[in-house]
Structure 1
Amino acid sequence: MVTRKFKRFAVAMSSTVIHKDQFKHQGSVRDLSAKGCRIESLIKPFTGMQMSLLLHVSGASQPIRIDNAAIRWCGAHGMGMEFLSIAPADSARLGLLLKELEARPIPT
């Protein structure tokens, strides 16, 4: 069993992956933590590639922007991204979202 540093939460939210402010591709975030996420997407970037990421949170006026994220793995179930750099305001918004996710009832 893999031990993780940060708790992951199952989510279903849209995202935009941005490479060098030019290439933009939509994806679906399937799990989220304070330091990374798993995205289902049609693109297959290479491990180590760095991108920006927009997390489109339902009901929010603006997405949470991850300034720099690295692809840690890519496979049949999407890609794993590690958050490397995030502005303080977006980091605070991500923290609030994770607290909301932790407080939600567990489905039975």
Structure 2
Amino acid sequence: MIHDRIASHPEPQRDGRGALRIPVRLKSTICSSAVRKVKADLVDLSTGGCRLATGLYMSDGAHLTLAIPTLEPVGARVRWCHHLGMGLEFLRPLHPLIVQRLAGLSMAALH
């Protein structure tokens, strides 16, 4: 039982830039001048960026807008992209309390 809880709620990890990445499961939408609106699953989040699970390919450096429920649209730049998803860097970092609130929404959605 404890193992199931641990497996379903992974611990936050630090990425190569030292940012604390919090695992989440949130629906989001991305759009840019190249694509209208594409749904994507937000799978981890930090103050400086996030990782999306999506089959969409966008070039590194491309600018887009990320829409997350309960949050104003966020400007972002593609840092990497491959067939499993993409990593985004926010143009303006999120406040840590916003990241905590979104992580809480993700946890609530799992229950």
Question: Over residues 9-56 of structure 1, what are the superposed CA-to-partner deviations in whole Å (9 max), with x where a residue is unaligned?
Answer: 000001100103961100000100001000011211111100010112
Counterpart residue identity of residue 79, structure 1: M
* 2:68 aligned with 1:63: no
Q: Which residue of 2 aligns with 1:27?
A: 40
The percent of aligned pairs where both chains have the same amino acid is: 27
Equivalent residue of 1:99, what SS? Answer: helix
Cα separation, partners in 2 of 1:50 and 1:99, compared to 1, 3 Å: same
How many correspondences in the alignment? 91
Report the TM-score, using the length of structure 1 for normalisation.
Answer: 0.70
Larger fraction in strand: 1
**What's the C-alpha RMSD, in Å, of the aligned pairs?**
2.7
Query: Unmatched 5+ residue regions in structure 2?
Result: 1-13
Among 52, 56, 59, the residue aligned to 1:43: 56
Distance in 2 of aligned mates of 1:39 and 1:10: 11
